[in-house]
Structure 1
Amino acid sequence: MFDWIRRPARRGHFAALDHADFPAFEPGSVWLVGAGPGGPGLVSLLAYHALGQADVIVHDALVAPDLLAMAPRRAQKLFAGKRGGKPSPKQADISLQLIDLARSGKRVLRLKGGDPFMFGRGGEEAGALARLGIPFRIVPGISSGLGGLAYAGIPITHRDTNQAVIFLTGHDESGAVPGGVDWNAVAHAAPVIVMFMAVKHLGSITQKLLAAGRDGADRLAIVSHAATPDQSIIETTLAQAHVLSEVPTPAIVVLGPVSAYRQSLDWYVGEARRHVFG
């Protein structure tokens, strides 16, 4: 269904870095592109190429303004952001917008924070395009669950602590805590759990994990505004996380021993920083 590659593999040498050797961004097509976790320098060369070729950019709320500023002035910019607790466009309407723009002959860049296929609804948007035969390309991005934590000095895997990790979303389509999650299984499946969009329901999620038998002394870190000058980090424990208030968002939450590596790997200094542990 999502077999979108229809061309031979390109030559695997440094000529591929030449702008002219990138795939053509054809009129009437849609590129779903990951914008990375925050800083505009964390996009791929192919994403940068798409930004310069697009006729219209349909972008999320979390896409950095500095990244949008790299687009040519002729490119139309359309906001399609979703933020918890605020009026947001419906997913079906965003997909229809992409379809209409492509059918009008535009080069449509759907610019999404992080990676389009990591809790980014990219699969739904690509599916809508595929069903109507609209050409599309997926350009992966650096997920905040990887790059955002790296900017906080937190490796999500380390051979001294864990060989597995779970990625979890903190809310479902309705905005509530996901009802289909087997919390008993999640609590014990991996030493490290990385949670996206979990701040709103963090108290409920932590209580479910504790009730399932997860150790309340487990380290928990929250990285807000990752990879930007406003990055801040809160460190606490699973048992104490419910008392936190006014946690800056967007944020990524990591539960498990890997946040201890911040003591030696905390390399990025943001303009705003907050530390709590206890």
Structure 2
Amino acid sequence: MATAHPAYPVGLRLTGRRVVVLGGGQVAQRRLPALIAAGADLLLVSPEATPSVEAMADTGEITWERRAYADGDLADAWYALIATSDPTANAAASAEAERHRVWCVRSDDADAATAWTPATGHSEGVTVAVLTTEAKGRDPRHTAAIRDAVVEGLRDGTLVAPHHRTRTPGVALVGGGPGDPDLITVRGRRLLAEADVVIADRLGPRDLLDELPPHVEVIDAAKIPYGRFMAQEAINNALIEHARQGKAVVRLKGGDPFVFGRGMEEAHALAEAGIPCTVVPGISSSISVPGAAGIPVTHRGVAHEFTVVSGHVAPDDERSLVDWAALAKLRGTLVILMGVDKIGRIAETLTAHGKPQDTPVALIQEGTTAAQRRVDATLATVADAVRTHEVRPPAVIVIGEVAALTPAPPA
């Protein structure tokens, strides 16, 4: 087959159309999921198959005929993937595909195929397909590397393709993770790259704001005045106002929007104003910060549960909704957020209700960032440790035996 000309790229619409796959090995295992996702009517012809391919047949995603290839198998096919270990059968099937004008991919001989499979990737409704221009001298690793670079750029926002269609005004509540800019989700980073306005919390990944284009308006939510309640109301109003101007608005929060982040208050305000709202979950500091400090919140034989508690009000405060007496009786891990200035009274309350005074405690300040540091103590000594080591927010407090599983790193 002549290969002087480059392949012509095209997207096949295979929904409901017969696709025949010859061979049930590793090639089929890799290619079948995408063909299933395309809605193809799939026939696998192979005496054997890998366990994963067999599972696809067991669940009815494909039809499997347990036999070798026979002439006529491709007669009604629109597309064929030839991937058996028998060169003679592959050549015969390829010849049949040519006779019936069936587009055919061969895993063993690209020169003998009438179609090539590109290296593909996906990002928010876009499929990226990369083809080498010639069959001879093809370098699949280079092709895959180009695909990966393009897809990663689209996902993390370093490769921005502007939307030219009219966008529906809306707000994305994006969880920025615990602080390290690399720990924001792929979707969150992409939405940041597409934003016109970003309303950011102090605890959000600040380094990401430096990467935004000059035209993006960044509003520091921490500086909105008039007290805590009025500040939240002002944030809600700012979200609504900018969205109504037709702008893409991102509300960038630390951690996860719905873990002590007032995300639901903002979602309710947007819903009442008729503004579409997208919630992008984030990595919560309650799990990620202890992990970054070498502390698992659960561990076999040590802790079978963990509880996350807000410590922004003291146990004896009438506004507290926490049952500290019940928490003192739990054997698992207790993770306290926003509790640095209240940890003395929290420790006293827990021990008063039966928690042993020698229960290990770890305080991780500025977790996942370059300024991260860890201070270890017990319930009996944690209040003094906070003062002695000048622990400041933001810090995550871990109470329980898991805090003693690994030694603290050098200061």
TM-score (norm 1): 0.83
SS of structure 1 residue aligned to 2:301: coil
Query: 1:58 & 1:36 partners in 2: Cα distance?
Result: 15
* AA of the residue aligned to 2:306: V
The CA RMSD measured in Å over matched residues stands at: 2.8
1:226 to 362, 367, 374: 367
> Could you tell me the percent identity over the aligned residues?
37
Query: 1:177 & 1:15 partners in 2: Cα distance?
Result: 54
2:188 to 47, 50, 60: 47
What is residue 72 of structure 1 aligned with on the other side?
213
Indicate if the aligned counterparts of 1:59 and 1:110 stay in contact, CA closer than 8 A. yes
- Asked whether 1:259 is paired with 2:403, we answer yes
1:126 to 256, 262, 267: 267
* AA of the residue aligned to 2:233: A
Indicate if the aligned counterparts of 1:192 and 1:254 stay in contact, CA closer than 8 A. yes
What is residue 287 of structure 2 aligned with on the other side?
146
* More RCO (CA 8 Å, sep 6+): 1
- Asked whether 1:28 is paired with 2:172, we answer no
1:16 to 105, 122, 137: 122
- Quick one: structure 1 residues 232 and 178, their matched pair in 2 at CA, closer, same or farther if it must change by over 3 Å? farther
Shift of 1:205: 1.0
Q: Which runs of 5+ in 1 are unaligned?
A: 1-10
What is residue 3 of structure 1 aligned with on the other side?
none
Matches within 5 A, 1:152-167: 152-167=293-308
Query: 1:129 & 1:74 partners in 2: Cα distance?
Result: 24
- Quick one: structure 1 residues 27 and 71, their matched pair in 2 at CA, closer, same or farther if it must change by over 3 Å? farther
Query: 2:391 & 2:283 partners in 1: Cα distance?
Result: 23
What is residue 340 of structure 2 aligned with on the other side?
199
* AA of the residue aligned to 1:137: T
What is residue 58 of structure 2 aligned with on the other side?
none
Q: How many residues align?
A: 253
1:169 to 304, 307, 310: 310
Query: 2:301 & 2:37 partners in 1: Cα distance?
Result: 35
More helix by share: 2
Query: 1:16 & 1:177 partners in 2: Cα distance?
Result: 51
* AA of the residue aligned to 1:60: D
Indicate if the aligned counterparts of 1:115 and 1:140 stay in contact, CA closer than 8 A. yes
Query: 1:78 & 1:12 partners in 2: Cα distance?
Result: 41
1:135 to 273, 276, 280: 276
**Bigger Rg over Cα:** 2
Cα deviations by residue, 1:173-232 (Å, 9 ceiling, x for unpaired): 9xx685222111111134210000000111111111111111111000000000111100
- Following TM superposition, the consecutive aligned residue runs of length 4 or more in structure 1 with deviations greater than 3 angstroms are 11-27, 86-89
Q: Which runs of 5+ in 2 are unaligned?
A: 1-35, 39-119, 128-153, 156-162
- Quick one: structure 1 residues 92 and 239, their matched pair in 2 at CA, closer, same or farther if it must change by over 3 Å? same
* AA of the residue aligned to 1:152: A
Indicate if the aligned counterparts of 1:170 and 1:178 stay in contact, CA closer than 8 A. no
